Structure 1
Amino acid sequence: MTTRRLHPAWLVAAVAFVALVGAAGFRATPSVLLHPLHAEFGWPLATISAAVSVNLLLYGLTAPFAAALMERFGIRRVVAVALLLVAAGSGLTVFMTASWQLVLCWGVLVGLGTGSMALAFAATVTGRWFVKHRGLVTGVLTAGGAAGQLVFLPLLAMLVRDHGWRMAALVVAGAALVVVPLVVWLLREHPADLGLPAYGATEVTPPPTATGGAAARALGALAQAVRTRPFWLLAGGFAICGATTNGLVGTHFVPAAHDHGMSETTAASLLALVGLFDIVGTIASGWLTDRVDSRVLLGVYYALRGVSLLLLPSLFGGSTEPSMLVFIVFYGLDWVATVPPTVALCREYFGAAAPVVFGWVFASHQLGAALAASAAGLVRDRLGEYTSAWYVAGALAIGAAGLSLSLRRRPRGVVPTPALVTAGPAAPRAWRYRG
């Protein structure tokens, strides 16, 4: 009788999931710190939102370089250093006395750390370790972000309420440090290192040889990708995705609900419920990505999100009404369901360079998030409410549906080459397809 061993890919995916859960939780903290920091230091919400914007922007811009660094130095080292940056950034905030220190600690250090564990990390893991169920695993890892939000937000809101915002910052720093040994011990680099094929593959594929600097590979990927129409459509849609999730709802839902008389703890719990339903929605999206045209999925997701945001201003109130719960369920199922089909389309159009290219597409996601976080803070300071921000976001999401549906299928026989993965900016043109 033979015992069937679990493929190591599943252990790697589990450790990656834990790291992604933590990264999401670390980034969820600003939404419960806006009002406490405003109350203690008197900083305008627009100033505090600027620190969040720097965090969101670096979270995105770091992703392609982190993906290239993982090729050069390994996943384990990059993720471990990223967790140390998060711990330092969050822990040092307890000593700050000026707003620029918030930008430095939470914006720069935490932004760089969490950006190194962004969704390009998930794309790298699934690209190396999975052939079968790749879309589903991408969905599960993406759902780790929602799980992090689910685990951390209510806890952090209660810590802020009962013990102050400094305790919440120290808890985040401690949680980041706890994950470091797990990553160093269990996060494997490549199935070929164990003499195994990727899960679902039949042959052992040696890892690609990383030549040149990580920055050169990341910038070389961008230089090639910007020459293609699919890149701009994917990046444009994903920028709107970031604006309508992390930038607006993730940062400003709690203070917006508080403006209508809802307690911050209740509002944080509602946002955590968004994370709970997003786990279901994103895993389902990964399953669908293995079976349905990703362009259609993105079009449907963005259109439904736009409609829900247009309805949101009429749902706020001092208590949680059934209509708000319906929004939470509906919006939660759609929160980051866009990620698995976007990753799949990057693989279709850009081949082996997809993890790095997706890093740049994800950077556009965070650019949109950063702009939305700052813009919504300005709207609140100038107009005293968020209503117009929700309407603009809804209209943009419907526009993103149009961008996604205008993507064309890559013609058969036109195969993207992997040359760009191991070459610098001077590499020959890697993709013949312009879309």
Structure 2
Amino acid sequence: MSRTRLVHPAWIVAVVAFVALVGAAGFRATPAVLLHPLHAEFRWPLATISAAVSINLLLYGLTAPFAAALMDRFGIRRVVSYALLMVAAGSGLTVFMTASWQLVLCWGVLVGLGTGSMALAFVATVTGRWFVKRRGLVTGVLTAGGAAGQLVFLPVLANVVQAYGWRVAALIVAGAALAVVPVVVWLLRDHPADLGLPPYGGTEVVPPPAPTGGAAARAVGALAAAARTRAFWLLAAGFAICGATTNGLVGTHFIPAAHDHGMPQTTAAGLLALVGLFDIAGSIASGWLTDRVDPRVLLAVYYGLRGLSLLVLPSLFAASVGPNMLVFVVFYGLDWVATVPPTVALCREYFGDAGAVVFGWVFASHQLGAGFAATAAGLVRDQLGTYVLAWYVAGGLSIGAAVLSMMLRRRRSDGGGRPEVAVLPKSDALT
């Protein structure tokens, strides 16, 4: 029967994963449009609200490696379903909050854990299990799911907040996350072997490995092994800077920074949504390039160009949108998550079958950087009255990440796409 299939089930799984990622991205797109409404209603300092965003970003990253291990043990479908329910609960309960600690609990903890379970380690798990051919391209497309969520939700939420208040916007996000759950339960499958099929582009049906130990032990064990390699620390450091300069700084503070210069919040939200539109194109193109170009070179180019653009950004803010700002938005959108496909590819190159879990830890560093930058930029704004210093520091760090990427050593393969030595290549070990 498998020979009569017109569409390999891997593509159906990829589509469902994309939809789930879009749903999860909805609430994560809201911090930028809620900062000023929450500040105006509750009189909480921007640094306090930014701290809740930081906890969200930190948990979003730290949950990822454990979620990848849980998917190995309990299946992708079950983990993603519960994660979407957690996102919906966190978003819905936000409307009842009256104190800042409740913001931290709902917005920070619940939504951070839920979205973290569908972070980029989820992408690495899906592509690692279901694809041999087109793995880089599919990684880019799934990575674009987060950008698509931002594109869909940001303008809508900004207008809803302006017309009806932030509580209605939070309920819309909760409803969107709930709506994705039935699709996941119906169509998402855990492993091609469950259907008696090889992965797309593969020739053999490979049974899933039997779970060994608990998910937490597997996640921590993968970290302990990877942490003994030079490659892991270079990838983690670069990705921490990536998180600081995207989700942490631009994703959280671009709208307030533009508003400081007289730009309406809805206009700034539209620009950030435009970043999301070009993010889709950039991540897909990056996935295509990752199948063809040395990912180390790609990372160096992406980080270097990002750094230069951030150094220019402070001079582009104005009350209205000028041509130079539009150029920045297009360029930054193309570069936003273009770093993900080459980073996923390098994790698989260095760490083999453990690559998805190790990437979860690399992604955790991304969110550590994002969480630090979200709080730090809020403090800079509170103390100096401007974000200028934050933009300049971020630009310099991005250029540093380009240098780190070029320090990664190329590995020889055995011809089958697997590393010569699993997880702990001696040539990269820290001694």
Shorter-normalised TM-score: what interval? over 0.9
Cα distance in 2 for partners of 1:405, 1:232 equals: 13
Q: Deviations over 1:330-362 (max 9, x none)?
A: 111000000000000000000000000000000
Q: Describe the SS at the equivalent of 1:297.
A: helix
- Matched AA of 1:188: R
Checking the alignment, whether the CA contact within 8 Å between 1:350 and 1:416 is kept in structure 2 is no
Checking the alignment, whether the CA contact within 8 Å between 1:129 and 1:198 is kept in structure 2 is yes
Checking the alignment, whether the CA contact within 8 Å between 1:309 and 1:393 is kept in structure 2 is yes
Query: Which residue pairs with 2:229 in the alignment?
Result: 228
Number of residue-to-residue matches in the alignment = 424
Cα distance in 2 for partners of 1:433, 1:141 equals: 32
- Matched AA of 1:315: L
Is 1:342 matched up with 2:336?
no
- Matched AA of 1:142: T
- Matched AA of 1:318: A
Unaligned runs of 5+ in 2: none
Query: Which residue pairs with 2:385 in the alignment?
Result: 384
Is 1:182 matched up with 2:186?
no
- Matched AA of 2:40: A
1:119 Cα deviation from its structure 2 partner: 0.4
Query: Which residue pairs with 1:365 in the alignment?
Result: 366
Q: Deviations over 1:260-315 (max 9, x none)?
A: 00011000000000000011111000000000000000000000000000000000
In structure 2, the CA distance between the partners of 1:310 and 1:290, relative to structure 1 (3 Å rule), is same
Q: Describe the SS at the equivalent of 1:282.
A: helix
Checking the alignment, whether the CA contact within 8 Å between 2:412 and 2:420 is kept in structure 1 is no
Query: Which residue pairs with 1:203 in the alignment?
Result: 204
Checking the alignment, whether the CA contact within 8 Å between 2:84 and 2:114 is kept in structure 1 is yes
Which runs of at least 4 in structure 1 moved beyond 6 Å after TM superposition?
none
Query: Which residue pairs with 1:7 in the alignment?
Result: 8
- Normalising to structure 2: TM-score of the pair? 0.97
Query: Which residue pairs with 1:141 in the alignment?
Result: 142
Give the alignment's Cα RMSD to 1 decimal.
1.2
Query: Which residue pairs with 1:415 in the alignment?
Result: 419
- Matched AA of 1:108: V
Cα distance in 2 for partners of 1:90, 1:411 equals: 47
1:415 Cα deviation from its structure 2 partner: 3.0
Query: Which residue pairs with 1:156 in the alignment?
Result: 157
Checking the alignment, whether the CA contact within 8 Å between 1:222 and 1:357 is kept in structure 2 is yes
Cα distance in 2 for partners of 1:349, 1:416 equals: 9
Checking the alignment, whether the CA contact within 8 Å between 1:351 and 1:416 is kept in structure 2 is no
Query: Which residue pairs with 1:83 in the alignment?
Result: 84
1:407 Cα deviation from its structure 2 partner: 0.4
Q: Deviations over 1:212-241 (max 9, x none)?
A: 100000000000000000000000000000
Q: Describe the SS at the equivalent of 2:207.
A: coil
Cα distance in 2 for partners of 1:78, 1:434 equals: 33
* 1:305-320 matches, cutoff 5 A: 305-320=306-321
In structure 2, the CA distance between the partners of 1:96 and 1:416, relative to structure 1 (3 Å rule), is farther
- Matched AA of 2:169: A
Cα distance in 2 for partners of 1:322, 1:122 equals: 35
1:433 Cα deviation from its structure 2 partner: 3.8
1:432 Cα deviation from its structure 2 partner: 3.3
1:432 to 412, 416, 426: 426
Cα distance in 2 for partners of 1:25, 1:177 equals: 11
* 1:30-429 matches, cutoff 5 A: 30-412=31-413, 415=419
Cα distance in 2 for partners of 1:137, 1:31 equals: 29
Unaligned runs of 5+ in 1: 421-429
Cα distance in 1 for partners of 2:20, 2:168 equals: 22
Cα distance in 1 for partners of 2:5, 2:380 equals: 58
* 1:6-25 matches, cutoff 5 A: 6-25=7-26
Cα distance in 2 for partners of 1:188, 1:433 equals: 37
Checking the alignment, whether the CA contact within 8 Å between 2:132 and 2:202 is kept in structure 1 is yes
Cα distance in 2 for partners of 1:371, 1:320 equals: 29
**Percent of matched pairs sharing the same residue:** 81
1:431 Cα deviation from its structure 2 partner: 3.9
Checking the alignment, whether the CA contact within 8 Å between 1:352 and 1:417 is kept in structure 2 is no
Cα distance in 2 for partners of 1:331, 1:197 equals: 38
Checking the alignment, whether the CA contact within 8 Å between 2:413 and 2:420 is kept in structure 1 is no
